[in-house]
Amino acid sequence: MDVLLKGGTLRGTVEAIASKSHVHRLLICAALAKQETVIKNIIPSKDILTTADCLEEYLAQIKRYGDDLSIRPYPRPKAKPLLNCTESGSTYRFLVPVACAKGVPVAFTGSRRLAERPLSPLYELLCEHGCTLSEQGVFPLHVKGKLQPGNFLIDGGISSQFISGLLLALPLLTRDSTIQITGELQSYPYIKMTLDALKTFSVDVKEEGRIFYIKGNQHFISPGNIHAKGDWSNAAFFAVMGAFSPEGITIQGLRQNSLQGDKAVLDILATCGATVTWREDMVAVKRNVLRGQKIDAAQIPDLVPILAVMACAAKGQTVIYNAQRLRLKESDRIETVFRMIRSLGGNIAVTQDGFIIQGTGVLQGGTVDGANDHRIVMAAAAASCICREPVRIHGAEAVEKSYPYFFEDMKKLGAFLEKI
């Protein structure tokens, strides 16, 4: 599907959707409990449905009632399931260590780039601690054996998802374990989200510096009903569009004290000159003079596509650095962000670990290849607000991965768009 956007200033109020990252974690914790859990306020994106489908094939009965999901764990895991993780890295990297902890043979498969995205050093750690995994990078991945407790020494600079997967799995083991982080810890806010989800289900993990202490033989206890938290990662696109608007955009349903790292978008926008105003659970972002900045992307890699668009509207130079992990996302985002900005007439150069962008205030417009990447599609759509000419996006259906109603919400704010 192509989408054609004719630009123009957006204004109004939009409701933040449920955090995909939060819901992934809640679903898995709920499936590991013994009692029913109801997760409320869920938008059924492809990634969330993927996790739900995998859990239903393996650990729990899951039913949808409107925007709510009911999770009822099975008395015991299903035998030899085949879990299709489609393109969801979170589903894959969380459930592989959980399967090892459960000790029931499981096969994993997926599509597109998922097999190419790294599983090391988690792969080697699981093998060192009693499990047998088939060849890495080839689907199906067969997991056998029972994970043994101990000390898990892991590089924190590859993916925080590996650490989150271990945190979800190790409380199920019979004895205590530790996770010891080496190297620079990237995307730490996502680990904090995992710890928060575990705490919600009464699982105790102690953190001291770079070591996590996990008691064995713990039980996940359902809190009953739980509301999914608003998603800062997707709200960031509307926050940046608000920074292009003299009347501004208000986003409802976000928490100022959220653990989500991508709430940093507001500090970045304010530092660049946008007007940011909080009122209870609503934040309004309005246009002011934007100026280029240096932006460290180490803890906020998912914000880079939309921050690159913001940089084009700012005066002067913006440098985005520590973004090298973008090459391992749904697309090679170093390449696809570069192509997106260049396709729209922006001035961007690739560096060893990010970009240098010379702000031009406006972009020309043009055609963008969505690269089967939801964040590239949404960033290109946001860029249409500062384009002189229409923007056409190929493969716009990629938004269904995380935000299936994204274009409908843009239209509510006054966007002129048509699906082709």
Task: Give the CA-trace dihedral at 228, 231, 234, 240, to 10 degrees.
Answer: 150
Burial label, 178 (beta-carbon count in 10 A; 0-12, 13-18, 19+): middle
User: Half-sphere exposure (CA, 13 Å, Cβ side) for 137?
Assistant: 5
Q: How far apart are CA 139 and CA 151, in angstroms?
A: 29
Whether 197 contacts 22, CB under 8 Å: yes
Q: How far apart are CA 365 and CA 359, in angstroms?
A: 15
Rounded to a whole number of angstroms, the distance between the first and last alpha carbons of the chain is 6
CA angle 262, 263, 264 (to 5 degrees): 80
Q: Which candidate in 47, 231, 302, 409 is catalytic? A: 302
Residue 277 dihedral angles phi and psi, to the nearest 5° = -135, 125
Tell me how crowded residue 349 is: count the other CB atoms within 10 A of its CB. 12
Whether 388 contacts 378, CB under 8 Å: no
| 2 in catalytic set | no
- Helices 188-200 & 20-32 angle (0-180, nearest 10): 40
Choose among 116, 213, 133: nearest CA to 170: 213
Helix (H) or strand (E) holding 133: strand 131-133
User: Half-sphere exposure (CA, 13 Å, Cβ side) for 167?
Assistant: 28
DSSP codes, 149-191: PSEEEEETTS-HHHHHHHHHHGGGSSS-EEEEEES----HHHH
Tell me how crowded residue 315 is: count the other CB atoms within 10 A of its CB. 15
Q: How far apart are CA 341 and CA 365, in angstroms?
A: 10
Q: How far apart are CA 46 and CA 384, in angstroms?
A: 25
Question: Catalytic positions, please?
Answer: 302
